[in-house]
Amino acid sequence: MLETIIQGILLGGLYCIFALGLSLMFGVMRLTNIALGDQIIISGFIAIGMATVLGFNVLWIGLLLLPIAYISGFCFQGWVLNRTLSKDPLPSLVVTFGLSIVIQNTLQMVFGANPRSLDVGSLSTAGVELSPSLTVGVLPLIIFVSAIVCTFGLQWLFAHTAIGRSFRAVSDDREVAELMGLSAKRVFATATGLAFCLIALAGWFQGMRTTVSPSDGPSLLLFAFEAVIIGGMGSFWGTFLGAMVLGVTQQVGFHYDPGWGIWFGHLVFIVVLFIKPNGLFPKTKG
């Protein structure tokens, strides 16, 4: 059972990175990015493409992906999503939903329906022995540590930096933030740029850890969504813990029956919604 829980926590690390991108965009501009899962998948495919066509090393691919992701996110927000933002949440939902379909079909056309993965050589099987009966994979461990670093980094960014303050300002009161001299649209673009970096990181890890196939996106979105809701919208640590809960639940489900894992996760999600609609770790207001 201990092994199952540890595997679940490590899986939760991956879900956490999925969910942080969603949490960030929602937190700053109340925008739900329906295409998140597909953006993760397309990042995975771009990484695989770089590996096969250009023959780059996996680490270089990761480093290259981040600036590309930032610029794409910044431009996507600036040119497309900023035009959809208003009091009405529907336009941005429709646009990202449409994008989701476009990405899925484009990937099908270009790469076919087969699952692919990013070759990481011996890293895929490397393990650390915690005790004679318990070994955990190095890659899942790296992903988990990255999730902690990302969560901590975002929380620090929001609490202690000028960028973070501008994020909070436009989220608190866009009009007054603009009175102070901020360009809300620029702040939004920066936030989406950052979110896309997390998305690229998630796709890179997903491609290394398992496989990516063009139709995987929606289920990844669902995991991210569940992690955010279970954790509560208040803080990035809430999202982190929500992802842990989801990962462990799924892993426990898998332990009993390989068909139950995902379903178990959904079940816990619904139970949490019933008992604590604001999530397990909502923001405490003073």
Partner 1 sequence: MLLEVQGLNAFYGDAQALFNVSLQLRAGEVVGVLGANGAGKSTLMKSLTGLVAVDKGAIRLRQQPIGGMPPGEIVKHGVALVPEGRRLFPSMTVEENLMMGGYSKRPGRWNKHAIFELFPILEEKRSQPATSLSGGQQQMVAIGRALMSNPDVLLCDEISLGLAPVVIKDIYESLPDICSDGMSVVVVEQDVIVAQQCSARLYCLQEGRVSLEGTSDALTRDQISEAYFGI
User: Which residues of the chain form contacts with partner 1 (CB under 8 A)?
Assistant: 165-166, 168-169, 171-173, 175-183, 286
**Quick one: tokens of 113?**
């329906």
Nearer to partner 1 among residue 27 and residue 261 (C-beta):
27
Question: Which is nearer to partner 1, 93 or 157 (by Cβ)?
Answer: 157
Query: What residues contact residue 77 under an 8 Å CB cut-off, 6+ apart?
Result: 185, 188, 189, 191, 192, 193
Closest distance of CB 91 from partner 1, Å: 20
Angle, CA of 208, 244 and 116, to the nearest 5°: 20
CB of 165 to partner 1, least distance (A): 6
**Which residue, 126 or 163, is less far from partner 1 as judged by CB?**
163
Cα separation, 140 vs 243, in Å, equals 14
Start-end of H helices in the chain: 2-29, 36-49, 58-79, 90-111, 138-160, 162-172, 174-179, 184-209, 217-231, 236-256, 261-275
Q: In the numeric block, which tokens belong to residue 165?
A: 């303050």
Q: Closer to partner 1 by CB, 28 or 47: give it.
A: 28
Question: Which has the closest alpha carbon to 183: 174, 191, 192?
Answer: 174
Q: How far is the CB of 203 from partner 1 (least distance, A)?
A: 31
- Residue 183 CB, nearest distance to partner 1 (Å)? 6
Of 129 and 172, CB closest to partner 1? 172
Q: Whole-number minimum distance, CB 212 to partner 1, in Å?
A: 36
